[in-house]
Structure 1
Amino acid sequence: MLIEENVVSLFPDNRSFQLTDNEKNYLYALGEGACLEFSSNGRISCSFGITNDNTLYITDKCNSNCIMCPMAEPARRFGHNTPIETLKELIRYMPQNMEHITITGGEPFIIKERLFDILCELKQGKKAYSYLLLSNGRVFANHDYCKLFAESVPADFLVGIPLHGPNATIHDAISQAPGSFYQTTNGLTNLLSTKSTSVEIRVVINKINAPYITELAKLIIDKYSKIDSVKFMGMEMLGNAIVNSEKVWISYDTAFSMIKPAIDMLIENCIDVALYNFPLCFVNHAYWHICANSITKHKIKYADKCAQCREKKTCGGMFTGTDKFLMDQVKPII
């Protein structure tokens, strides 16, 4: 690819596109080694670059249908799978030793054993220093899958698995998949026993599970004390979440007050904890150090009154979509 003035030329077919100044600056900022995809209508997108926000998106589909998922149910049922040939081609183009790759969906294991081929190619190509796989964890209830995973997984690999509640009643009501609590908890046990990867538990806080978070923390301490961390997450109010907002929405200040005892309990038992997607003004100052800037840049939204907040540069903001539930509750720190 060659950029001259505001025209980008592609080799070897010599097609060219006219760029705006912003588009040209965007391409320059991607840096050496970035991989771009060009569509027939001239749309340019970056598949990966030099930043640490690189993603392999496997599929829209999922074998759960979580009531607060930011993707809509039709996409989960009938959505798109990225062709395996496309995924392998992207991996071939990746330079070695990128900072990080996230493997996500939907549920990546919807493509079954083919995901192990992807993991092996990443491993053999030494494509990144660290990895994160986001999965509902149900597949790891199968011992054969755990064995194949242990053989395929690259070094410095983390699996993030959601646990919605301390029992099947709460968890399955949220996942809307009967039997998923037992599959997920057995999967966590099996995966930890392989010692092939780090594991974090992710808990999306909503109206259904918020009253049971302390009970969930006790379960984690008793059964999963060897996990890497627990991430408590604010909701992204899109898709299923917005459709079911009356069932799942809980204000962030209320959510924090209900999970605070669980945070304390986990930390006292030497389990690392982080808060994702929570603006700082909804969190007690003593817990700001566990608040992560977790929202992808193009999804971040701030209220107008956030402009006067002295902590705006430190705060991770809120999700676009969730902002309409929070705008009136934001309290600038001045």
Structure 2
Amino acid sequence: MLRLDTQFEIHNLDKPRLFKVISLSELIEKGPAVCAGYSTLNDLMLWLDTSPTASRKELLSSPLGGLLTCEGKLPEPPKDKVILSSPRDSRVVQPGDVIAVTPGTNVVRVLYRRGADSNLLFMTDRCNSLCLMCSQPPKDVQDEWHVQENLHLIDLIDPVEEQLGISGGEPTIYKEGLLAVLAKAKAILPEKSIHILSNGRLLSAPDWIADLKHIGHPNVTWGIPLYADTAHEHDYVVQAKGAFSETMQGIYNLARASQRIEIRVVLSRLTIPRLPELAHFIFRNLPFVEHVALMGIENTGLAKKHHDELWIDPLDYQDALINACHFLDIRGIPVSLYNLPLCVLDPSLMPFYRKSISDWKNLFIDECSECSATELCAGFFKSHSQRWQSRGIRALQQEDLIAYTRSVP
């Protein structure tokens, strides 16, 4: 449950910088080659541990961009390098991470965490929808600088096989920037799969088809939300008239561009009533989609403001969930359940269940302390409160798990 930022004492920083944090052994063995793309020693920040070797003058005078120490301060810190020391939480930044630092603040942001399954490229705070349950409400800002940050970040992350997300806001708002990011990801990180979260509305423009075909990234999946099988219900959830039509056209354009597509549905009082009908709609009209993701609501951002309109106890929609999941599964469309505690689900849904909440967003509450299923369970969002808690939360015992594990083929 580590945060993605913490505070350091920061010295000698005169402009925004990204750094790849590396250990001494990586510096000796690989140098800038530890990064996936183009980098120099000036892009590297050396992690200094407490060993005698770490304080040797040769290291302090090496042509690196920065030095990081979690144990106290350097006795004679060099003036030609960015120095990070005395972190508030020494666990947040580790070797292999890529961090961002900005003058005028002591906050260090982790943009890429080595070994994490939730790394993403953040494109913008802007969005052309205003979903009632949006966990990160959009801002009316000009923030195209994220594009250049992401292009630099691609160079610095690890060249290993893993998934990399692209999100916002709405990432298609900066079309040319997004296309540049995809092209660079294909060139620098061909082994990484890319998962883009988009509302799909701007993808309704036909020129996206040729642009995406031209880039030809072999492993991109677009996660597109569809909240109902009718325009009225979908448009109301996203608070944008005409959104349903635009999103559907965007999905068809992605299919024409040979893109992989996932349909995403946030489960709420507004989306549950037509969930079985939506499953039928997807099968009839979007049989080419590769995956359907059904997700519990994250009780933060705008969702808190619209609690009464959105909240429904998961115990009260198990029949609709069973109907939708098994309908899609039988017809060969993969379906997954995310962001729900295991104990509120019918055991027949276990084949679709995923332990999903990102580690830095995840927690277990007091009622879970005696539960035998925490290794299987997604737990709760960090923003969880009693207001959003199902009456079905309970500690599962070993004998309860038999019903769940027996459901998995």
TM-score (norm 2): 0.74
Matches within 5 A, 1:1-334: 1-5=46-50, 6-7=71-72, 13-19=80-86, 23=90, 25-27=91-93, 30-32=94-96, 34-40=97-103, 41-51=105-115, 52-72=117-137, 75-78=138-141, 80-126=143-189, 128-195=191-258, 197-324=259-386, 325-326=388-389, 329-334=392-397
Q: Which moved more, 1:107-116 or 1:85-94?
A: 85-94
Q: Which amino acid aligns with 1:280?
A: L
Greater alpha carbon shift after TM alignment, 245-254 vs 307-316: 245-254
Shift of 1:141: 1.4
Q: Which amino acid aligns with 1:69?
A: C
Are the aligned partners of 1:235 and 1:322 in contact in 2 as well (CA < 8 Å)?
no
Q: Deviations over 1:170-195 (max 9, x none)?
A: 10011111111011111112211222
- Residues 173 and 79 of structure 1: is their aligned pair in 2 closer, same or farther, counting only changes over 3 Å? farther
One-letter amino acid of the structure 1 residue matched with residue 393 of structure 2: V
Per-residue deviation, 1:20: 5.4
Q: Do the aligned residues in 1 keep the contact of 2:335 with 2:352 (CA within 8 Å)?
A: yes
CA RMSD of aligned residues (A): 2.2
Which is greater in Rg?
2
Q: CA deviation at 1:45?
A: 2.6
- For 1:255 and 1:175, the matched residues in 2 are separated by 21
Deviations 1:265-324 (A, max 9, x none): 111111101001011011112222311122111211222010111001210101122443
Contact 1:207 1:249 in 2 (8 A): yes
Deviation at 1:83, TM superposition (A): 3.1
Q: Distance in 2 between matches of 1:320 and 1:102?
A: 21
1:8/1:288 Cα in 2 relative to 1: closer, same or farther (>3 Å)?
farther
Q: Sequence identity, in percent?
A: 26
- Specify the SS of the correspondent of 2:360: helix
AA paired with 1:181?
A: F
Conserved 8 A contact 2:322-2:349 = no
Q: Is the 8 A contact 2:162 2:191 kept in 1?
A: yes
Q: Hey, what's the Cα distance between the residues in 1 that align with 2:84 and 2:383? A: 33
State the distance in 2 between where 1:255 and 1:323 align: 20
Q: Which range is displaced more, 280-289 or 86-95? A: 86-95
Are 1:200 and 1:228, in contact at CA under 8 Å, matched by a contact in 2? yes
Once the two structures are superposed, what CA deviation does each residue of 1:87-137 show, in whole Å capped at 9, x if it has no partner? 222122234344121000110011122211111111111254211000001
Deviation of the 1:84 alpha carbon: 2.3
User: Residue 278 of structure 1 contacts residue 317 of structure 1 at CA under 8 Å; is this kept in 2?
Assistant: yes
- Preserved contact between residue 100 and residue 128 of structure 1 (Cα < 8 Å): no
Q: Distance in 2 between matches of 1:251 and 1:61?
A: 31
Counterparts in 2 of 1:157 and 1:11: CA distance versus 1, 3 Å: farther
For normalisation by structure 1, the TM-score amounts to 0.90
Q: Which runs of 4+ in 1 moved over 4 A?
A: 7-12, 78-82
How far apart, CA to CA, are the structure 2 residues paired with 1:188 and 1:21?
45
Amino acid at match of 1:14: K
Q: Indicate if the aligned counterparts of 1:252 and 1:282 stay in contact, CA closer than 8 A.
A: yes
SS at the partner of 2:275?
helix
Return the structure number with greater helix share: 1
| Structure 1 residue aligned with 2:20 | none
The AA in structure 2 aligned to 1:45 is R
Q: Letter of the aligned partner of 2:299 in structure 1?
A: M
CA 1:11–1:151 in structure 2 vs 1: closer, same or farther (change >3 Å)?
farther
Q: Is the 8 A contact 2:322 2:348 kept in 1?
A: no
Q: Is the 8 A contact 1:58 1:103 kept in 2?
A: yes
Cα distance, 1:261 vs structure 2: 0.5
Q: CA deviation at 1:153?
A: 4.7
Q: Deviations over 1:139-192 (max 9, x none)?
A: 221110122122225221111000010010110011111111011111112211
